[in-house]
Amino acid sequence: STKVLSLEETPIDDQYTMVKAHFLMQFQKSTGEAKEINLDSTYILFMKGETPKIVMHIEPEDVQQAMKDRGLL
């Protein structure tokens, strides 16, 4: 499962907002062992219209490598 631990919004201008999100990803291996990964992501959102739209997504850490480092892959 994945939980959003925090969100930090920073307006860029009247159309765009940067959102920094901190996630906790929880996995259970077939052995029953639980593993967790904390990851940060940054999103640039276009805020005009009814629904914000993601125009850019940045992962400062390689998610696949983080999973390998913790023995999940």
CA-based max dimension of the chain: 50
pLDDT at 8 exceeding the cut of 90: yes
Note the pTM of the prediction, 2 decimals.
0.78
Which band of pLDDT confidence, cut at 50, 70 and 90, is reported for residue 19?
very high
Tokens of 27: 């996995």
Q: Give the model confidence (pLDDT) of 22-43 as tens digits.
A: 999 888 888 888 888 888 999 9
Q: How, if at all, do strands 53-58 and 34-46 pair? A: antiparallel
Residue 18 near residue 12, CB atoms below 8 Å: yes
Query: What amino acid is encoded at 48 in this protein?
Result: K
Q: How far apart are CA 68 and CA 36, in angstroms?
A: 12
